[in-house]
Amino acid sequence: MKLATFKIGGERHIGRVDLDQMCVYPFDVSLYEASRGVTALIGRAQMPREKEPLDLARIRLEAPVPRPARNIFCVGKNYHAHAKEFAQSGFDSSAASGDIPEHPIIFSKVPECVVGPEDAVVIDKSVSEAIDYEAELAVIMGVGGRGISASDAMDHIWGYTIVNDVTARDLQGRHSQWLIGKSQDTFCPMGPWVVTTDDVDFSKMVVRCTVNGELRQSAPVADLIFDIPTLISTLSAGLTLNPGDIIATGTPVGVGIGFSPPKYLVPGDVVRVEIDQIGYLQNEMVAK
């Protein structure tokens, strides 16, 4: 099932997407519930009543979780080839531990940097001119917990979406810790919707990214160094995960910093991140 957050007539709604009919069925929920995005549906025994469908062309998709309840958990260097390209880039504060990490590298992005799947990403040249893209599969927790075992982890997942972990590389290198470079305003496009776990087959899932139509990234999710159960088990060891928490699982090889010279984003560039079985984001870079 594909579940979306969207606006029509200036009001936020949530609903079920039907791509065969190219429409969305709004759920009969209060505007307060809809203000939380699709996470308002987590834990329900059944979905709310559906109202009359709306053409997808009539609505404006938002990030499925417009403002996460807390920081998005992110994983660095989690595809083998990307781990090597980043370790050799000169911007990797973890490179002393080797190209391939022994344990998951965890950082976060603040909730306020989330934007929708069609929104602009703002490049403020007074802050950074080294803006990079990172295509990623994101996990949304449905059942929280502490000390979740890897064998039980998949039962705690509610659904999956896409994020572009936009990054100011110079800020990332300057501050060693990555939060500032990862959390600039508009630096987390998310969407286009959430796909529930029953509609996902990882054996057929590939993460891709194009910039102005040029393919930059392409890798199967099966290439993750630390798989999703390992990530959930690692994060929940002493840290309680909550329903609605979001985990971005890492990006494949082909980011801008991996080229010589680097291929940083500039105003006017259009970045498309696509994952099989989910959909795509397409965001234009604009100058502040």
> In one letter, which amino acid is 105?
I
* Residues pairing with 24 in the sheet: 17, 54
Which residue stretches of the chain are H helix? Answer: 31-34, 80-87, 169-175, 179-182, 228-235
Kind and range of the H or E run holding 219 = strand 214-220
Task: Give the model's pLDDT for residue 177.
Answer: 83
Q: What is the mean pLDDT of each run of 10 residues along the chain (288 residues)?
A: 96 98 98 96 96 97 98 94 71 62 95 98 97 98 98 98 97 88 98 96 93 98 96 98 98 94 97 97 97
Q: Give dist(CA 66, CA 262) in Å, integer.
A: 31
> In one letter, which amino acid is 263?
K
